[in-house]
């Protein structure tokens, strides 16, 4: 009996899309064709590859109106926000713009006797395992530079966003056959293919447990992995911060996409001199959201992608309240949250501490805990008291202080006076249980290519 991969819509609990899972044998056949196609693709001039990849992104952009509606049905993001193409275009343009410089050979010596240089070659076949929360942005981070560098790409998308994988395959259908392959695979089949060394690099964005499963499958294959496994990102509001700006940006970072952002703000530490006004404004900010059907333009907060995700957050909040935390957002303002489905009201908690899961474990939902701190030392200690390290947001008017604090925080990106943003010129990376590897920036090319050294002797002695 064939396994079915299903997307259950958080809007109404219906099956929005389903596809039969491919067998391992069928997938291997398609991947063999991808490997064969990659050789010719890599031999094409770089400028041709860049132009063809940019054309694929433009093709995707042309169907964005349909994609936005599909995203609402698949994972609940309100249509008012317009999808992900702004970031897709920005990241594509940047990586395409720096490709020639970063993929060019680096000449060490060119003399009468020797030509010595370092070249970068494509790895071969890159597997992208993409998540549902930003199904286009997260995938594009690897797809675009991998293709430009001369790799073939296989995409395995999350079941919650089945149609995103198909949309990307349609967008890149003009590439030579096999260069881009969309796969419908079960977790078991994916692991079997990885263990059989079907790929030359694996990029995964998802849960810590998912990352561990990929590492186990890849053990002994010597295949590289890039693992971005989420976070529990902190915001720190110093005494000299712009209060209104800090509230607006940090709360947006906590609540946007129903809190389902890898680099969303999940905990906030506020200098005690600003704590009371910050908390009052934050609660009012969250109370002003409108929870409802993401297909309606007035909706600012859609359902979580799956009921079980909402139940995780409900459990964390209930445990915290039972332990003494105080919720500041009146649930009566959000009648769409019946407590039985994926629609979850936002919540702001005070009276929290690090004995509570809501302050230490990833929530990935529209809840944030806020604690007062006496100053930088306490804030740094609390920010570092975490298994994850993706981003940290520091709010201050002092650039030197932000840099000094950032140097002490165990994280991949330090923000000052902003949050929840990915700059393609800067490396996207993390530490601790957030995972390992890099994407975007000039460093992103290093993950998707291998070095080759050339030591060419022009003249023999004598």
Q: How far apart are CA 148 and CA 100, in angstroms?
A: 10
Catalytic annotation, pick one of 7, 261, 262, 263: 262
Q: How far apart are CA 373 and CA 211, in angstroms?
A: 34
Cβ atoms 136, 168 nearer than 8 A: yes
Known catalytic residue: 228? yes
Q: Strands 224-228 and 201-205, how do they pair?
A: parallel
Tokens of 79: 């249509």
Cβ atoms 250, 235 nearer than 8 A: yes
Beta carbons within 10 angstroms of residue 340's beta carbon: 9
Backbone phi, psi, residue 316, to 5°: -65, -45
Tokens of 310: 């909402």
Q: In sequence order, what DSSP letters do the residues of 159-214 get, joined into one string?
A: GGGHHHHHHHHHHTTTSPTTSEEEE---HHHHHHHHHTT--SEEEEES-HHHHHHH
Known catalytic residue: 262? yes
In the chain the first and final C-alpha atoms are separated, in Å, by: 73
Catalytic annotation, pick one of 228, 266, 362, 433: 228
Cβ atoms 17, 6 nearer than 8 A: yes
So which residues are the catalytic ones? 228, 262
């Amino acid at each position: 009996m064939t396994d079915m991969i299903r997307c259950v819509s958080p809007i109404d609990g219906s099956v929005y899309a389903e596809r039969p899972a491919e067998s391992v044998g069928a997938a291997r056949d398609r991947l063999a064709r991808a490997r064969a196609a990659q050789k010719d693709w890599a031999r094409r001039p770089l400028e041709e590859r860049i132009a063809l990849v940019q054309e694929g992104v433009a093709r995707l952009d042309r169907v964005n109106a349909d994609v936005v509606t599909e995203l609402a049905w698949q994972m609940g993001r309100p249509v008012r926000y317009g999808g992900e193409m702004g970031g897709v275009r920005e990241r594509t343009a940047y990586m395409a713009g720096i490709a020639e410089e970063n993929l060019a050979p680096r000449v060490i010596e060119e003399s009468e006797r020797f030509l010595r240089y370092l070249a970068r070659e494509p790895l071969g076949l890159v597997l992208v395992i993409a998540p549902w929360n930003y199904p286009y942005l997260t995938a594009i981070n690897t797809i675009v530079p991998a293709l430009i560098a001369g790799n073939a790409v296989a995409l395995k998308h999350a079941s919650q966003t089945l149609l995103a994988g198909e949309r990307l395959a349609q967008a890149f259908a003009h590439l030579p056959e096999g260069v881009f392959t969309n796969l419908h695979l079960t977790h078991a089949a994916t692991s079997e293919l990885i263990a059989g060394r079907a790929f030359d690099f694996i990029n995964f964005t998802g849960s810590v447990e998912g990352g561990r499963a990929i590492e186990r499958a890849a053990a002994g294959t010597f295949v590289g992995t890039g693992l971005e496994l989420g976070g529990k990102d902190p915001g720190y509001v110093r005494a000299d911060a712009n209060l209104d700006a800090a509230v607006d940006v940090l709360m947006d970072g906590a609540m946007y996409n129903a809190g389902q952002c890898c680099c969303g703000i999940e905990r906030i530490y506020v200098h005690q001199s600003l704590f009371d006004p910050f908390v009052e404004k934050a609660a009012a900010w969250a109370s002003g959201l409108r929870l409802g059907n993401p297909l309606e333009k007035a909706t600012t907060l859609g359902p979580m992608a799956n009921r079980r995700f909402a139940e995780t957050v409900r459990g964390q909040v209930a445990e915290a309240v039972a332990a003494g935390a105080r919720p500041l957002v009146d649930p009566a303002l959000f009648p769409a949250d019946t407590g039985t489905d994926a629609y979850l009201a936002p919540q702001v908690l005070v009276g929290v501490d690090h004995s509570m899961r809501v302050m230490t474990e990833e929530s990935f939902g529209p809840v944030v805990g806020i604690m007062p701190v006496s100053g930088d030392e306490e804030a740094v200690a609390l920010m570092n008291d975490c298994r994850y390290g993706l981003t940290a947001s520091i709010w201050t008017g002092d650039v030197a202080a932000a840099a000094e604090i950032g140097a002490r925080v165990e994280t991949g990106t330090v923000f000052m006076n902003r949050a929840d943003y990915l700059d393609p010129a800067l490396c996207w990376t993390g530490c601790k249980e957030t995972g390992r590897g890099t994407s975007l920036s000039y460093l992103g090319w290093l993950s998707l290519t291998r070095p080759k050294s050339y030591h060419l002797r022009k003249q023999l002695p004598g």
